[in-house]
Structure 1
Amino acid sequence: MIRRSVLILGLVAAGCNTVPLEDPPTRAQISDSTLPPMKSFASPSPSRPVRSNANIAADFLSLHFELESGRALPVFTRFEAPISVRVTGSPPPNLQADLTRLIDRLRREAGIDIQQVSGGQARITIEAVSRDDIREALPQAACFVVPNVSSLAEFRRDRRKPKTNWSLLRKRERLGIFLPYDASPQEVRDCLHEELAQAIGPLNDLYRLPDSVFNDDNVHTVLTGFDMLILQTTYAPELRTGMSRSEVAAILPDLLARMNPAGSNIQPEPVALTPRNWIDAVQTALGPGATPQTRRNAASAATSIAQNLGWKDHRRAFSHYMLGRMTQLSDPELAQQHFGTALHFLAQTPGTELHRAYITTQTSAYAISRGDSATALRQIEPNLKVARQSENAALLSTLMLLKAEALELAGKPQQAGSVRLDSLGWARYGFGSDWAVRAKMQEAASLNPHNKLGG
């Protein structure tokens, strides 16, 4: 129910100083830009899940009948009436277009009866507030959703009452979503996708899911084909609010066979549950407030837990990715070994192309800092398509800025300039204000050893 403020994207490379962050961009800074126009993605092209319906049924039950704390929920809940959505507060300019696209997808791909309204009481109220207001309400949240409220003021007043307790929810009638108006356009959109999906669908997040926004690793930022299947199943006529876990479990095989026939012909894989100690280690490593040494220790602990459990999936890879990020300034060669190990496990896990693209920002940045343009270009090129398909402008622009520096190294300044210019429209969507975009440009340029030699 909370999208945490977790940093998983950056260029930090050995021997490279990162650009210090300044104050967050305001809406005026984002709209009044001297950079090229902001770019946006065309029609979405999500991939259908490629795994057994038996595994998807197990995921569905865990998503709907458990909370992130591990506490069990006694009954299935969803909206039983048409869903109305209203926007209040101070919405940023990009929110309306992204909300319209999302509602269209929910109607078209998941068959959900949902529409936006301009006034009156709504089933779901999306209130755009400041990041400071959100952090004051929930310090670790980038955005969040709460039952039975329609404003942040109501949540503050009633936050300790039973009405706002997810574990006591027995039917869905009214929910409030709170997202920041002073964040980058992509962050606002990401919050919109995750929180609206949880407002109408599952309440849990599962680290074991490689292809879903219902995962606290924040790798996927827009609803995937798996997510749409889960939401479509949630609103199937065979299900209704108040059903028990066993009642839902009995219906799911036939229901999924109808909705996802390809999954009936795939052999199920053993379900490896995610232990609490690994989750705690990840949240310590990536969450706010910890010292660098504490983060490294937590990432190392997560890696050891994953290894001892014998994991060979994206969770094992994510553990090594974190540890690589935590060690790349102190021991860049060891960090690259961790990134290589992460890529090894991801190569064995279907549906992890986006995870690999994230790691490529680290390995290609390292190659550029070593003057190896050929390796960097070979790594970057196939991941540009992945970033586009996943509608991740921050990742796409980062890869393009890295490609530009690799082309500079290769003695192709005209091509580098063209790629760099093309990246800026995506960077404006992904990072927001001019200062944030220019900080990313400077960060990428600082990797180039020719620039270092030049002063």
Structure 2
Amino acid sequence: MRHILLTAGLLLALGACAPALQDDTPSRAATKHSTVLPPMKVFASPHPVPPDRSNRDIARDFLDLSFELESGRALETFSRFEEPISIRVTGSPPPTLILDLDRLIHRLRAEAGIDIGRVRGDTANITIEAVTREQIRRHLPKAACFVVPNISRLSQYRSNRHSRLTNWALLQKREKLAIFLPSDSSPQEVRDCLHEEIAQAIGPLNDLYRLRDSVFNDDNVHTVLTGFDMLILRTYYAPELHSGMSRMQVAARLPAILSRLNPRGNQIASHPARATPRAWISAIQTALGPGTGPRQRVSAAQESLRIAKAQGWTDHRRAFSHFALGRLTQTINADTSQNQFLAADEFYRRTPGTELHRAYSASHLAAYAISRGQGEQALHILQPHLATAERFENAGLLATLLMLRAEALDLTGRTDQARAVRLDSLGWARYGFGADWAVRAKLLEIAAISPTKGPKG
């Protein structure tokens, strides 16, 4: 399932630099209805980047993704669909859902070679039911969306939740699954759910924090299927594999499969990453998930950082611990928070393939500079990351970066350019944040960062 996280989501609270925010959801009370919004912007062609890792490392990742659940429970057998896969949509889908679903299906056919298509009938292998966020959280409070085997409606889930019918560990072959996603979230959140839940419905069931370039990672940084993900799914449906195989049987066939599908990976040296301890995962989930008080969140983030240091990590997981702590201390101590974001950016900088991660850090570093009237510094921080947010199809992040850039331009006296950039941000914000009131609230939130516009400006 896709988890609800406070830190890597679309609505980046910048509380240390503006009036303190209680959560990541803009307030309706803060909106100005006079702001005329331009049409929604959407992304054109995807730009997946091929994985840059050894096939030996990818094989290990494939096995850990395919033979474990997110809970850490081992799976005895490999399972997948053995026939062409059909998908139907029910419930109350928002207008953008079908367009984004069709784009995803096209990618799965073209990039992963999977025989999959959308149908309009009453039955399908995968049923996507669009329901409200409240309905989803009533069943799974920590989930933004989720997938379940052998049912087709949310009404069937409660009575079958703990039965053999919906037990992934007992699944021998996939034939019928249901995906439940929110009908009242932003277009981007709905699309992100489509990518993550369909990927798990047809492919691996596990998430691994050690993966820096994948949606199969609970940090929610990547929100659309990457080049690595498509290789994993293409491997999942290789003719050499079939449902019912054991981990040992799959492992024996992976080298030849990956050599055929990813010959470049045979020329790259292996750099295996250490496994992620359950204690670190638990600390991160406590820090960033719902249902925890502010003090407990900060304590959990500090614990995740302690574990990361003890593990000797210098990769994106160490950076993510710093990022989480920075995010959670913004309203407590702006300077401490800034130091954590700087540390996160430094560890991301040392880790290849973390451009998108650095773009998130940049939003906070630039906000800090703006809050201190340092417009040129903020522009310098933001400039490299605008193209990154667009390349990874993250409209919420792109809109945030553009809004920050507009404030920085205002600080440097370039008001006409700031006005044009701010207008450009609104089209992306409509996709990233959804409702008009949410877009207006985000615009006001970021404007309040500037010392010339905030409460004291």
* TM-score (structure 2 length as normaliser): 0.95
Aligned position for 2:371: 369
1:244-300, Cα deviation, whole Å (9 max, x unpaired): 101111111111111111111111013300000000000000011111100000000
Q: Match for residue 236 of structure 2? A: 234
Alignment partner of 1:220 out of 200, 219, 222: 222
* Percent identical residues: 60
Deviation track 1:83-142 (CA, whole Å, cap 9, x = no partner) reads 000000011000010000000000000000000000131000000001111011111111
Equivalent residue, structure 2, for 1:414: 416
For 1:4, give the aligned amino acid: I
Does the CA-based 8 Å contact 2:75-2:169 persist in structure 1? yes
In the TM superposition, residue 21 of structure 1 has moved relative to its aligned partner by: 7.1
Q: Which residue in 1 is equivalent to 2:310?
A: 308
| RMSD of aligned residue pairs (Cα, Å) | 1.7
In structure 2, relative to structure 1, the CA distance for the partners of 1:300 and 1:20 (3 Å cut) is closer
CA deviation profile, 1:309-355 (whole Å, cap 9, x unmatched): 00010000000001111122222112111111111111121110000
How far the C-alpha of 1:23 sits from its partner, in A, is 8.7
TM-superposed deviation, 1:453 = 6.9
AA aligned opposite 1:216: D
Tell me the distance in 2 between the aligned counterparts of 1:169 and 1:112: 20
Deviation (angstroms), 1:398: 0.2
User: Following superposition of structure 1 onto structure 2, how do residues 217-366 of structure 1 map, counting pairs within 5 Å?
Assistant: 217-366=219-368
- Going from structure 1 to structure 2, the CA distance change for 1:327 and 1:22 (only over 3 Å counts) comes to closer
Counterpart of 1:8? 8
Give the 3-state SS of the residue equivalent to 1:229 in structure 2. Answer: helix
**Contact 1:25–1:433 at 8 Å: present in 2 too?**
no
Q: Following TM superposition, by how much is the alpha carbon of 1:369 offset from its aligned partner in structure 2, in angstroms? A: 0.3
Partner of 2:32: none
Q: Who is 2:121 aligned against?
A: 119
Aligned residues: 449
- Name stretches of at least 5 consecutive residues in structure 1 with no aligned partner: 27-32
- 1:196 alignment counterpart: 198
Secondary structure of the structure 1 residue equivalent to 2:285: helix
Q: Secondary structure at the match of 2:209?
A: coil
Q: Which residue of 2 aligns with 1:29?
A: none
Aligned letter for 1:330? I
State the match for 2:41 in structure 1: 39
Residues 454 and 414 of structure 1: is their aligned pair in 2 closer, same or farther, counting only changes over 3 Å? farther
* Equivalent residues of 1:146, 1:177 under 8 A apart: yes
How far apart are the structure 2 equivalents of 1:15 and 1:267?
44
* 144, 148, 151: which one aligns with 2:150: 148
* AA in 1 matched with 2:408: A
Q: Give 3-state SS (helix, strand or coil) of 1:451's partner.
A: coil
Write the deviation string for residues 53-83 of structure 1: whole angstroms up to 9, x where unpaired.
1110000000000011111000111100000
Q: Deviations over 1:347-369 (max 9, x none)?
A: 12111000000000100000000
Partners of 1:364 and 1:390 in 2: CA distance: 20
2: CA distance, partners of 1:304 / 1:231: 35
Structure 1 equivalent of residue 56 of structure 2:
54
Distance in 2 (CA, whole Å) between partners of 1:125 and 1:288 is: 27
**Displacement of 1:24 after TM fit?**
9.2
Cα pair 1:63 1:203 within 8 Å, conserved = yes
Q: Check 1:161–1:25 CA distance in 2 against 1; reply closer, same or farther (3 A cut).
A: farther
**Partner secondary structure for residue 452 of structure 1:** coil
Runs of 4+ in structure 1 off by over 2 angstroms are: 1-9, 18-26, 452-455
Match of 1:450, SS? coil
**For 2:180, which of 178, 181, 191 is the aligned residue?**
178
How many Å apart are 1:35 and its aligned residue?
1.4
Name 1:168's counterpart in structure 2.
170
Alpha-carbon separation, structure 2, partners of 1:58 and 1:393: 33
